[in-house]
Amino acid sequence: MKTEAVVRRYSRQVRSLVIGRRAQRAKLVVLGQHANEGLLAKAFIYFMLSIIAYLYLQPFFYMISTMLKGLADLLDPTVKWIPRTVDWNNLSRAFDGLKYPRSFFNSLLLAGGGSLLQVFVCAMTGFALARLQFPGKKLFFALVFLTFLIPPQVIMIPLFVTFSKLGWLNTPFVFLVPALFGQGIKSALFIIIFRQFFHSLPKALEEAAMIDGASMFRLFFRIMLPLASSACLVVFLFSFIWYWNESYLTSMFLSNDFTPLSNKLSNLEATIFGDNPSMAVMSQNPVTEGTKMAGAFLIVFPPLVLYMIAQRWFVQGIERTGLVD
């Protein structure tokens, strides 16, 4: 009898120990070893991020939802997100109103051409600032940084006058020529990115090339530029996006004829309805909201596709190029 009691007592102890350990393990899984690990913390992070992401993307959802609404759905306050009937007319009307194929080509020429030139010239400048010795280098770098801080508002009027005298207004030259000379959109940022990248390469590379008798230009084009292909890609992508989205300078320099997509939205109504004054009153009504959102969607669609393809480089780009060191 006595032994039985002892066994029972011990087994109870063992069981409680096992349960205790299990509970501990469960606690470890749920709460984690530290406060920022474990399921609870993860659930919290997901919860927070999902809410923020929903709020963050809400205007975008609104754009798509409104774009697909017909007139009846737009006027019906009970329809919030999902339209009763999907109306594709908005898209086709916006497509015509934006003169999509032509504006798309204009934007593509500006963004693609500008970015290619920008990559090349900024790489050259960044290389010189990082690897070559010449008097006044520090001053030049300070000037590069200065161009980053100058608001475009300040230099816009003289540029406008110069371009109009040269007859370049409403031609792609107003963007391509500055890009060719390293003064494109946010070029200072790109020069700094390239400078940091070339700084990080080992010195032995160019010494070896020099001993083998390569000239500076050969060194740059055959060794440095291929090595910098990842930086080039990042710069190209960012530059493309920023050229595509530029609407302030384009509204000044390219107001008619050669208009890129980013400036077409504001006169979408005029192109659809003509200059009929009674229609101008209509624009206050939600009648054109769907069409305008369709136009907005058509404008952001190409960079969106680009982002889906090249998302990795965009997001990791800033870290990888060492902009922040």
Partner 1 sequence: MNARAKGIAKFTYKLKSNGAGYLFMLPWMIGFAVFMAFPIGWSLYLTFQKVGLTGTGFKYKYIGLQNFKDALLKDNEFTIQLLVFLQQMIFMIPIIIIFSLCVSILLNQRFPGRFLFRAIFFLPVIFSTGQVLTELFQQGAGDVPFIAQYGIDTYVSDHFSASMAEPILNILGMMILILWSSGVQILIFIAGFQTISNSIYEAVRIDGASPWTSFWKITLPGIKPFIGLNLLYTMVDLFTFPFNPIMEQIKKNMFSITTGYGYASAIAWLYFLLIMILIGLIMLFLNSSNKAGRA
Restricting to residues 112-131, which ones interact with partner 1 according to CB under 8 A? 121, 124-125, 127-129
Residues 15-74 that bind partner 1 (CB under 8 A): 34-36, 41-42, 45-46, 48-49, 52-53, 55-60, 62-63, 66
Q: Considering only residues 95, 116, 147, 172, which one is a binding residue for partner 1 as defined by CB under 8 A?
A: 147
Record the tokens describing residue 43, joined without a space. Answer: 């659930």
Rank residues 10 and 44 by Cβ distance to partner 1 and give the closer one. 44
Q: Considering only residues 92, 266, 276, 285, which one is a binding residue for partner 1 as defined by CB under 8 A?
A: 266
Q: Exposure string (b/e) for 156-183, b if CB count within 10 Å is 16 or more?
A: eeebeeebeeeebbbbbbbbbbbbbebe
Residues 148-167 that bind partner 1 (CB under 8 A): 148-162
Rank residues 6 and 318 by Cβ distance to partner 1 and give the closer one. 318
Residues 74-113 that bind partner 1 (CB under 8 A): none
Q: Contact 256/170 with Cβ under 8 angstroms?
A: yes
Say how far apart CA 238 and CA 178 lie, in whole Å: 17
Backbone angles phi, psi at 201, to 5 degrees: -75, 150
Which residues lie below 8 Å from residue 228, measured CB to CB, with a gap of 6+? Answer: 123, 194, 197, 198
- Is there binding between residue 319 and partner 1 (CB under 8 A)? yes
Rank residues 3 and 167 by Cβ distance to partner 1 and give the closer one. 167
Element (H, E) at 153: helix 152-166
Rank residues 20 and 152 by Cβ distance to partner 1 and give the closer one. 152
The site string for partner 1 over 203-232 (x = CB under 8 A, - otherwise) reads: -------------xx--x------------
- Is there binding between residue 143 and partner 1 (CB under 8 A)? yes
Spatial CA neighbour of 265 closest among 290, 295, 243: 295
| Sequence letter at residue 96 | D
User: Shortest approach of partner 1 to residue 154 CB, angstroms?
Assistant: 5
Report DSSP state, residue 201: S
- Is there binding between residue 258 and partner 1 (CB under 8 A)? no
